[in-house]
Amino acid sequence: RGARWRRHARAPPSRAAAAAIARRARERTSQMRVRTLADAGDIRDKVALVRVDHNCVKKGVVKDVHRIERTLPTLYNVVERGARPILMTHVNRPRGEDGVIDVDEVNDGVGAVVNVLRVKLGVIFAAPTFKVRADGRGIDWDEVSMSTILEDLRARRIGGVYLPNTRWFDGEEAGAGTEACSALCRRLADLADIYVNDAFGSWQPHASTVEITKYLPSYAGLCMERELRAIEAVLEPKRPFVAIVGGAKVDTKLGTLRAVAKRCDTLILGGVVYNAYLCAKYGIEIEGVSEKDVELAAELLHPEVQAKLVELPVVVESSSLQGCGCVPKEGVCSTPGVMQNGVRAIRIDELQRGASYGYFLDVAASAFDDARVKSVLSNAASIFVNAVMGFTSSGFHEGTTALDHAISSNKLARKYFGGGDTIQEFKSLSPALYLSAVDDPTFYLFTGGGTVLKTLELGGAEELETVKCLLLDKDEETTHVMPKCMTLAECDCASPLDI
């Protein structure tokens, strides 16, 4: 029972429909020529080492099941074709600046993810635990334990294996060419026959995402394929194209913002990035915004950026980071210019040069009623959003909620949400909109928002090291065979592909 995977309950698509799905997939991946699972041939009785991006655990709790669910089609594909999966992911950032790796099973372990998979798939996943190294450099590889588990996997006594957090291994982030990295790759390669990268959100060139491809035949998973097709649509969008970008760190977003500004027709900012921009443009001081961030944001005053940037005209000022986050009166900023319980709405055109302000913790909902903002969002043909407008952890969420509703009201536009916090807040603050978006072909929810931004900055997904190592050589011939998962109705690859 523990090794028998549940089959989908719904009726499979017709053979013609499945063939059409496969044909469209081939057409859309042909430009980038990524080696896919369809190129793997017969994988019966083989072990597939699958790198996923299940970095969705906080304090031992899975916060984003969406990331896990998006990888299920790849797992079904592998299993239906007779192979057995070994999964691995990174969780959080356990390595300190001093190089010491904090092995915390509760906060950074994969146990919570394994439990979700056991429930959803109805199979037993073995999750080995390795001994912590005395020198603080993570965990030691346990050859004996892995040998026994691998034997059980090949004998189908278990349904799969989930390795510990990849960042607990010293070689994961050691860098290409180092002995630690090579040693980890050799140990991983000894476990499997093929490698599958389904971790679109993990773009960093680490041992488990790039270097391992030098040791095993390597392929893109179905989630990776679909994300790459979607990113092509963002790189060549239907116009007018509106990009909405926010974030807590200006230095990590500046290069991306320059690249996005060149590609989009309209740019809207949120979060600390917007606050730093306001300081740079209007000569003000905002609590919590550093001089360094203001200096960096000054680059956004370039005429080419200014020509495309639309300012959200009303923000929420607070005297404290604490509080309910809502201006009184049903959470609506209804009394501009007047402090209420330390919180008020303030218009951008009323900012006084040289003045100092409290924390700008949100964009007021009324900002999205502004004629220019409404026109930009309602007339857009493509919208990309990687932003949370406010400090939602303290309840300042009306700006993000208003943004979600404004975007959703445009029924014709293609709407792309960059993963991570953007989708998590979309789901928690606007659950009804989120549920409708999941089944709405005009929406696409990326699993990795940071990867999307990095791709926009580089100019194409083929520039990512994690994708480069999966590209077919020019003289390499490939014959795409429709995978058996095409007969399973709930496969992601059986969803509409007109992204």
Residue in this structure with the two tokens 């980038």, named with its chain if needed = 32
pLDDT of residue 297: 94
Q: What is the mean pLDDT of residues 191-219?
A: 97
Query: Which class is domain 232-315+352-457?
Result: alpha beta
Does residue 17 surpass a pLDDT of 80?
A: no
pLDDT of residue 30: 46
Q: What is the mean pLDDT of residues 428-434?
A: 91
Integer-rounded Cα radius of gyration of the chain: 24
Segment 86-121, tens digit of pLDDT:
999 999 999 988 889 999 998 899 999 999 999 999
Segment 280-318, tens digit of pLDDT:
999 999 999 999 999 999 999 999 999 999 999 999 999
pLDDT of residue 482: 42
Mean pLDDT of the chain: 86
Of residues 137 and 187, more confidence is placed in: 187
pLDDT of residue 254: 83
pLDDT of residue 280: 96
Q: What is the mean pLDDT of residues 463-468?
A: 96
Domain 15-230+461-494 part of CATH 3.40.50.1260: yes
pLDDT of residue 394: 81
Residue 59's pLDDT band (boundaries 50, 70, 90)?
confident
Segment 344-361, tens digit of pLDDT:
899 999 999 999 999 999
C-alpha–C-alpha distance, residues 90 and 164, integer Å: 8
pLDDT of residue 31: 61
Q: What residues does each domain of the chain span?
A: 15-230+461-494, 232-315+352-457
Q: What is the mean pLDDT of residues 51-61?
A: 92
Segment 368-409, tens digit of pLDDT:
999 999 999 999 999 999 999 998 888 888 999 999 999 999
Q: What is the mean pLDDT of residues 248-256?
A: 83
Segment 167-197, tens digit of pLDDT:
999 999 999 999 999 999 999 999 999 999 9
pLDDT of residue 6: 58
C-alpha–C-alpha distance, residues 117 and 127, integer Å: 12
Please tell me if the domain spanning 15-230+461-494 has the same topology as the one spanning 232-315+352-457.
yes
Segment 316-340, tens digit of pLDDT:
999 888 755 555 454 454 555 556 6
Residue 493's pLDDT band (boundaries 50, 70, 90)?
very low
pLDDT of residue 89: 98
Q: What is the mean pLDDT of residues 478-494?
A: 43
